[in-house]
């Protein structure tokens, strides 16, 4: 018995150690990071907006998880840089990005997220001021250096004169300075514009005005910037009509010539002088990969000599023109510099956006959900009230079925609930897990499955008592049998939770997660709490003596009526057994007591 | 007769229900139920899919002040009329103080316009009108992934059970019962016309887990009762095992269903349509059916698979096999 007692004590100590370890880890998280003693709530309980983005891939291709991670990193930077610090951006299911923002995101934040689409370079064919209310931007008129039209230039040449504003009154152009080893033999704006053929059925090159058909010209004339559809990718081999991101300028653009994926790198830096001394003017340095360099070379070679605005090329992000710098020089080595009177922030933001273009993934909104805090709160309250009602009903039923033994069920459920709370809180502190409504539902369902372990166990103990064992022994042998069943069934449940968690997306994961956690906790509690407690109780007079209210009364369980030898006997087949059974059933209790007393004497 | 005594009699076999003996009856009943579910769903024209599967926009308004009685839906209909075609929206009541509007997809500007109009019409803050927008492929993706997860789970579970019980026959019997659960749960949705949402799908997946869980508990008792060296036939011992675990089955289903029923109650009557209600409904039906199918399908079906075998020869065969290895 003494040995038994130490084992009981040890199990309870283990349970305490586990709970303390989880609590300790959480305490550490609270002290060092932004841990908390309350689980974080998901949007559907807290209120906010959740946007699920799916990569827009070409058919037959898929996105690697590294690419997705990279996209998430850049999105996070962007959104957080804009001050929405609580935005949470995560990948889900290996194929989706989930953006969670408290409250309703403003238009700017939304656009920043939505802008995470495919980037492409197209030649500018026609450019005009857009929108009825929009004032045409005239950089030379405003005289604001920040408004200076960007230009592409060769970083090696680093000629500050390159940043001259475009002549066009419409604005929106930029200049590109390119890095060429050999000096360009085609000076900017020197070549006369090629004569425009009136009607050309087949455009010869992407800058050919023949792209602008009559239909397209009409469309352009009627086009307003609110007609830009950011969700559908534009045809890549046709001329398209679109606006810049400020909705101030509209463009007709040629077909795609360079893909954003061909950008190797983009970063912001100060324009150096020939001696390498920074001038204080900010620019974005753009670097292409091999394929991109070639394509970009041919673009600059063709357009640098053209007239305004066809010497500009547009960097199109999410179907809108991010910038449309004019090309000042032919760039053959894939290294370009975009200048245009940028501030440091402006240059960095642009570089980030260009870098994002290096990811050949576009994203589309798959689902967007906006939950008001009030609805979230009422959902949480509803879930908690439902849980409380359910728990009370379970307690009442347990006490009804198992008398005072039901209290062990209740105590075990309380311990399981406490452990679950600690684990969820810890995971929320460390892993950023958020409890969703589906997760709460998983917890409610877990009440039933956890209680089932106790029921299986108690029923086995009762079975052992029915076989005439003493309670202390019945608890041990009942446990031996029950633990196998509990392990096997919990394993199936855990398997389901694990498979669902790994393979499913969205709410399904939140649900699977809590189901898995509670399944593990269920086993821990039944092994380290319920069983030891029952072992202890078995030694008390109340339970060990089989008090009628203990729920483990051998008399009530029928143990007295038959000896162990009779186990399964009544099941013997044949009519004889059946009639014997019938006879037994018709006996009065007094008769049966007499019979069994006789049997015991035998 | 008290419940405890009832349990005693089930344990000794003094009271025994012919779960195995009358298996043809149970199988017929199951087949009829399944037929009703399939035909019923087809007659109703398939499942009622939520906007998560069809794509569209949804608005919810809560906290509307009313003088008792449900919220008047007509003003909302008038607002929607301005933005989408006549047949492209449904306005319904959500609890006592809320509204739910489903419509075909509207863009960002329209969404904001509708939200503002609804808010001012019903005198709530704009923030109390929630909106969600779902692309048509979203539900498809979720269900495809869910289906893949389900198939992998079933395959793994069958393997685990076959290894644990040392016989594939139990896996087969468990999967047959599982199939019944799936058809019936889906059938209830199809016949009654409940909306199939991702939340309902979660409930559906849980049922799969619960159904197998329940079957494993009962099968473990069957494993004990039919262990090598047991006397009697498979039929008798399987039937005894089911009867002996009957009290546990009843107790467990009651205990598992109580919280689910309260979720359903709160979900349906307090919160209105939503995640809670959808999950709880699927769970309530599925848990009940899952318990039923373990007793009336899985165990008798296992007995059917063991027909003509005797425990004695089986254990002898196993011993011989063990001796060779």
Which residue has better confidence, B134 or A427?
A427
d(CA A246, CA A135): 11
Chain B contacts of A463, Cβ < 8 Å? 11, 244
Token code pair at residue B242: 């089911």
Specify the fold of A2-18+373-544: Multidrug efflux transporter AcrB transmembrane fold (1.20.1640)
pLDDT of residue A415: 92
Omega before residue A309 within 30° of 0, cis: yes
CA–CA distance from B285 to each of A222, A402, B175 (Å)?
57, 26, 18
Residue A138 Cα, gap to closest chain B Cα (Å): 30
Chain A contacts of B108, Cβ < 8 Å? 110
B205 at A interface, C-beta within 8 A: yes
Residue of A nearest to B269 (CA): A382
Token code pair at residue A286: 């753009």
Q: By C-alpha distance, which of A222, A468, A260, A256 is closest to A360?
A: A260
A437 at B interface, C-beta within 8 A: yes
CB contact (8 A) between residue A492 and residue B248: no
Token code pair at residue A310: 């066809």
CB contact (8 A) between residue B134 and residue A491: no
- 3 state DSSP class of B76: helix
Chain B contacts of A378, Cβ < 8 Å? 62, 271
- 3 state DSSP class of B95: coil
d(CA A52, CA A64): 18
Residue B316 Cα, gap to closest chain A Cα (Å): 22
Provide CATH 1.20.1640.10 ranges for chain A: 2-18+373-544
CB contact (8 A) between residue A390 and residue B261: yes
A451 at B interface, C-beta within 8 A: yes
Token code pair at residue A344: 């440091």
CB contact (8 A) between residue A571 and residue B240: yes
- 3 state DSSP class of A53: strand
Disruptive mutation site among A445, A477, A519 for chain B (greatest number of B CBs within 10 Å): A445
- Which residue in B199, B259, B265 is closest to A394 by CB distance? B259
d(CA A545, CA A533): 16
d(CA B241, CA A238): 73
Which superfamily does B3-48+138-316 belong to? Multidrug efflux transporter AcrB transmembrane domain (1.20.1640.10)
Domain A48-114 sits in CATH 3.30.70.3220? yes
CB contact (8 A) between residue B199 and residue A566: no
Mean pLDDT per 10-residue interval, chain A, length 602 residues: 67 89 85 75 76 69 66 66 60 73 67 63 83 44 43 56 38 45 40 46 75 82 74 73 81 84 80 77 84 84 81 79 82 82 78 65 71 74 82 86 84 90 85 76 78 87 83 88 89 87 70 85 91 86 72 64 41 43 50 55 51
CB-CB contact of B55 with A365 (8 Å): no
Burial of A400 (0-12, 13-18, 19+ CB in 10 A): exposed
Chain A contacts of B62, Cβ < 8 Å? 372, 374-375, 378
- Which residue in A386, A466, A566 is closest to B266 by CB distance? A386
String of b and e for B161-177 (b: at least 16 CB within 10 Å)?
bbebbebebbbbbbbbb
Binned at pLDDT 50, 70 and 90, residue B219 comes out as very high
A23 at B interface, C-beta within 8 A: no
pLDDT of residue A208: 78
CB contact (8 A) between residue A367 and residue B128: no
pLDDT of residue B301: 93
| pLDDT above 70 (res B284) | yes
Q: Which bin fits A359, alpha (ψ -120 to 50), beta or left (φ > 0)? A: beta
N- to C-terminal Cα separation, chain B: 52
A593 at B interface, C-beta within 8 A: no
Residue of B nearest to A457 (CA): B248
CB neighbours (10 Å) of residue A327? Answer: 30
CB contact (8 A) between residue B271 and residue A566: no
- 3 state DSSP class of A283: strand
Binned at pLDDT 50, 70 and 90, residue B275 comes out as low
φ, ψ for residue B128, nearest 5 deg: -85, -5
Chain B contacts of A444, Cβ < 8 Å? 259-260, 262-263
pLDDT of residue A278: 77
pLDDT of residue A578: 45
d(CA A283, CA A289): 20
Token code pair at residue A500: 């669902």
- Going edge to edge, which strands form the sheet with A88-92? A88-92, A96-101, A48-56, A362-371, B129-134, B56-61, B98-103, B89-94
φ, ψ for residue A371, nearest 5 deg: -120, 130
Chain B contacts of A495, Cβ < 8 Å? 153, 156-157, 160
CA–CA distance from B115 to each of A43, A280, A372, B131, B132 (Å)?
19, 47, 12, 8, 11
Q: Return the number of CB contacts < 8 Å for A and B.
A: 280
Provide CATH 3.30.70.3220 ranges for chain A: 48-114
Structurally, at CATH architecture level, domain B56-134 sits in 2-Layer Sandwich (3.30)
CB-CB contact of A485 with A461 (8 Å): no
CB contact (8 A) between residue B276 and residue A485: no
pLDDT of residue A521: 92
d(CA B293, CA B289): 6
pLDDT of residue B172: 94
Sequence-distant (≥ 6) Cβ neighbours of residue B1 within 8 angstroms? B9
φ, ψ for residue B214, nearest 5 deg: -60, -40
- Kind of pairing, strands A335-342 and A173-178? antiparallel
- Kind of pairing, strands A434-435 and A40-41? parallel
Q: By C-alpha distance, which of B154, B178, B164 is closest to A499?
A: B154
A52 at B interface, C-beta within 8 A: yes
A410 at B interface, C-beta within 8 A: no
Binned at pLDDT 50, 70 and 90, residue B78 comes out as confident
CB contact (8 A) between residue A455 and residue B255: yes
String of b and e for A228-263 (b: at least 16 CB within 10 Å)?
bebeebbeeeebbbbbbbebbbbbbbbbbbbbbbbb
CB contact (8 A) between residue B14 and residue A389: no
Which A positions 318-347 lie with beta carbon below 8 A of chain B? none
CA–CA distance from A418 to each of A455, A498, A522, A525, A536 (Å)?
20, 22, 12, 11, 22
pLDDT of residue A181: 39
Residue B101 Cα, gap to closest chain A Cα (Å): 14
Sequence-distant (≥ 6) Cβ neighbours of residue B184 within 8 angstroms? B33, B34, B37, B285, B289
Does the ipTM surpass 0.90? Answer: no
Most confident of A136-150, A581-595, B213-227, B276-290: B213-227
The beta-carbon contacts of A15-18 under 8 Å, at least 24 apart in sequence, are A15/A415, A15/A524, A15/A525, A15/A528, A15/A529, A18/A419, A18/A524, A18/A528
Residue B5 Cα, gap to closest chain A Cα (Å): 6
**Mean local confidence (pLDDT), B48-62:** 77
Q: What is the DSSP string of A196-262?
A: PPS--SS-SSTT-GGGS-HHHHHHHHH--GGG--SSSPPPTTS-EEEEBTTSSEEEEEEEEEEEGGG
d(CA A438, CA A383): 10
The packing angle between helices B74-83 and B108-122, to 10°, is: 160
**Mean local confidence (pLDDT), B28-32:** 94
Q: Which helix (H) or strand (E) holds B165?
A: helix B136-165
Chain B contacts of A507, Cβ < 8 Å? 198-199, 202, 275
A110 at B interface, C-beta within 8 A: yes
N- to C-terminal Cα separation, chain A: 32
CB-CB contact of A251 with A126 (8 Å): yes
- 3 state DSSP class of A556: coil
Binned at pLDDT 50, 70 and 90, residue B292 comes out as very high
CB contact (8 A) between residue B263 and residue A369: no
Cα B302 to chain centroid, rounded: 23
CB contact (8 A) between residue A499 and residue B153: yes
CB contact (8 A) between residue A573 and residue B232: yes
CB contact (8 A) between residue A455 and residue B221: no
Sequence-distant (≥ 6) Cβ neighbours of residue B268 within 8 angstroms? B277, B280, B281
What HEC string does B249-285 produce? HHHHHHHHHHHHHHHHHHHHHHHCCCHHHHHHHHHHH
Chain A contacts of B236, Cβ < 8 Å? 571, 573
Q: Where are the domains of chain B?
A: 3-48+138-316, 56-134
Which A positions 525-554 lie with beta carbon below 8 A of chain B? none
- 3 state DSSP class of A481: helix
Q: Which helix (H) or strand (E) holds A397?
A: helix A373-402
φ, ψ for residue A362, nearest 5 deg: -100, 155
Binned at pLDDT 50, 70 and 90, residue B307 comes out as confident
pLDDT in tens, B151-187: 888 899 999 999 999 889 999 999 999 999 999 988 9
Which A positions 214-243 lie with beta carbon below 8 A of chain B? 226
CB-CB contact of A494 with A520 (8 Å): yes
CB neighbours (10 Å) of residue A591? Answer: 11
Binned at pLDDT 50, 70 and 90, residue B26 comes out as very high
A563 at B interface, C-beta within 8 A: no
B251 at A interface, C-beta within 8 A: yes
| pLDDT above 60 (res B254) | yes
B197 at A interface, C-beta within 8 A: no
A57 at B interface, C-beta within 8 A: no
Disruptive mutation site among B148, B177, B209, B285 for chain A (greatest number of A CBs within 10 Å): B209
Token code pair at residue A517: 């956690």
pLDDT of residue A573: 41
d(CA B149, CA B147): 5
């Amino acid at each position: 018995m003494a040995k038994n007692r130490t084992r009981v004590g040890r199990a309870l100590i283990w349970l305490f150690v586990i709970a303390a370890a989880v609590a300790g880890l959480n305490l550490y998280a609270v002290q060092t990071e932004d841990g908390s003693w309350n689980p974080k709530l998901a949007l559907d309980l807290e209120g906010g907006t959740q946007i699920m983005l799916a990569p827009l891939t070409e058919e037959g291709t898929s996105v690697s998880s590294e690419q997705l991670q990279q996209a998430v990193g850049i999105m996070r930077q962007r959104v957080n840089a804009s001050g929405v610090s609580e935005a949470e951006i995560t990948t889900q299911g290996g194929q989706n990005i989930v953006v969670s923002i408290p409250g309703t995101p403003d238009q700017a934040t939304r656009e920043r997220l939505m802008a995470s689409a495919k980037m492409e370079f197209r030649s500018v064919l026609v450019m005009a001021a857009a929108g009825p209310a929009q004032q045409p931007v005239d950089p030379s008129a405003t005289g604001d250096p920040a408004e200076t039209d960007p230009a592409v230039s060769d970083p090696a040449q680093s000629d500050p004169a390159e940043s001259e504003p475009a002549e066009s009154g419409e604005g929106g152009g930029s200049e590109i300075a390119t890095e060429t080893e050999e000096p360009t033999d085609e000076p900017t704006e020197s070549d006369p514009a090629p004569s425009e053929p009136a009607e050309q059925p087949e455009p010869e090159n992407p800058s050919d005005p023949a792209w602008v058909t009559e239909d397209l010209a009409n469309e352009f004339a009627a086009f307003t910037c609110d007609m830009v559809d950011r969700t559908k990718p534009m045809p890549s081999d046709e001329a398209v009509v679109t606006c810049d991101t400020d909705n101030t300028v509209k463009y007709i653009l040629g077909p795609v010539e360079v893909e954003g994926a061909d950008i190797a790198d983009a970063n912001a830096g100060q324009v150096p002088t020939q001696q390498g001394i920074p001038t204080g003017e900010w620019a974005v340095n753009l670097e292409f990969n091999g394929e991109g360099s070639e394509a970009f070379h041919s673009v600059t070679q063709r357009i640098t000599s053209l007239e305004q605005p066809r010497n500009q090329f547009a960097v199109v992000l999410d179907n809108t023109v991010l910038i449309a710098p004019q090309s000042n020089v032919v760039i053959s080595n894939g290294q370009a510099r975009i200048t245009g009177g940028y501030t440091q922030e402006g240059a960095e933001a642009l570089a980030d956006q260009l870098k994002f273009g290096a990811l050949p993934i576009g994203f589309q909104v798959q689902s967007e959900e906006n939950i008001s805090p009030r609805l979230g709160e009422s959902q949480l309250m509803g879930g908690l009230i439902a849980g409380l009602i359910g728990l009370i009903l379970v307690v009442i039923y347990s006490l009804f079925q198992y008398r005072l033994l039901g209290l062990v069920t209740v105590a075990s459920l309380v311990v399981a609930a406490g452990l679950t709370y600690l684990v969820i809180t810890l995971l929320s502190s460390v892993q950023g897990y958020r409890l969703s409504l589906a997760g709460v539902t998983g917890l409610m369902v877990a009440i039933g499955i956890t209680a089932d372990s106790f029921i299986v166990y108690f029923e086995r103990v009762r079975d052992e008592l029915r076989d005439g064992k003493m309670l202390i022994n019945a608890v041990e042998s009942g446990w031996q049998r029950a633990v196998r069943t509990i392990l096997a069934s919990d394993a199936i449940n855990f398997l389901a939770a694990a498979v669902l968690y790994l393979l499913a997306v969205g709410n399904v994961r939140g649900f699977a997660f809590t189901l898995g956690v509670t399944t593990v906790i269920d086993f821990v509690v039944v092994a380290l709490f319920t069983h030891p407690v029952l072992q202890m109780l078995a030694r008390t007079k109340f339970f060990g003596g089989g008090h009628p209210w203990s729920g483990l009364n051998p008399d009530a369980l029928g143990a007295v009526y038959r000896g162990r030898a009779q186990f399964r006997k009544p099941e013997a087949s044949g009519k004889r057994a059946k009639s014997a059974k019938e006879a037994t059933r018709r006996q009065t209790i007094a008769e049966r007591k007499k019979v069994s007393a006789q049997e015991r004497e035998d | 007769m008290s419940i405890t005594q009832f349990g005693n009699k089930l344990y000794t076999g003094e009271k025994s229900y012919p779960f195995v003996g009358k298996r043809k009856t149970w199988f017929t009943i199951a087949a009829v139920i399944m037929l009703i579910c399939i035909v019923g769903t087809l007659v109703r024209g398939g499942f009622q899919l939520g906007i998560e599967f069809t794509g569209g926009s949804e608005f919810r308004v809560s906290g509307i002040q009313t003088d008792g009685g449900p919220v008047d839906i007509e003003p909302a209909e008038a607002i929607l009329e301005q933005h989408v075609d006549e047949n492209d929206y449904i306005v319904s009541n959500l609890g006592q103080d809320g509204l739910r509007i489903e419509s075909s997809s509207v863009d960002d500007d329209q969404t904001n316009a509708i939200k503002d109009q609804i808010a001012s019409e019903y005198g709530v803050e704009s923030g109390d009108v929630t909106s969600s927008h779902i692309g048509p492929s979203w539900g498809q993706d979720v269900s495809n992934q869910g289906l893949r997860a389900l198939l992998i789970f079933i395959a793994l579970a069958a393997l685990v059970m076959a290894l644990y019980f040392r016989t594939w026959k139990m896996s087969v019997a468990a999967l047959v019962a599982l199939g019944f659960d799936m058809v019936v749960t889906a059938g209830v949705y199809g016949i009654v016309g409940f909306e199939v949402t991702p939340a309902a799908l979660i409930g559906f997946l849980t049922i799969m887990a619960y159904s197998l869980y329940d079957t494993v508990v009962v099968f473990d008792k069957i494993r004990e009762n039919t262990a090598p060296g047991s006397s009697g036939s498979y039929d008798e011992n399987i039937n005894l095992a089911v009867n002996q675990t009957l009290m546990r089955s009843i107790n467990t289903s009651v205990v598992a269903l109580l919280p689910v029923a309260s979720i359903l109650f709160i979900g349906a009557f307090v919160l209105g349509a939503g995640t809670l209600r959808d999950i709880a409904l699927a769970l309530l039906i599925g848990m009940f059916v899952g318990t039923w199918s373990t007793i009336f399908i899985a165990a008798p079906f296992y007995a059917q698979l063991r027909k003509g075998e005797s425990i004695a020869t089986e254990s002898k065969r196993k011993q011989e096999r063990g001796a060779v290895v």
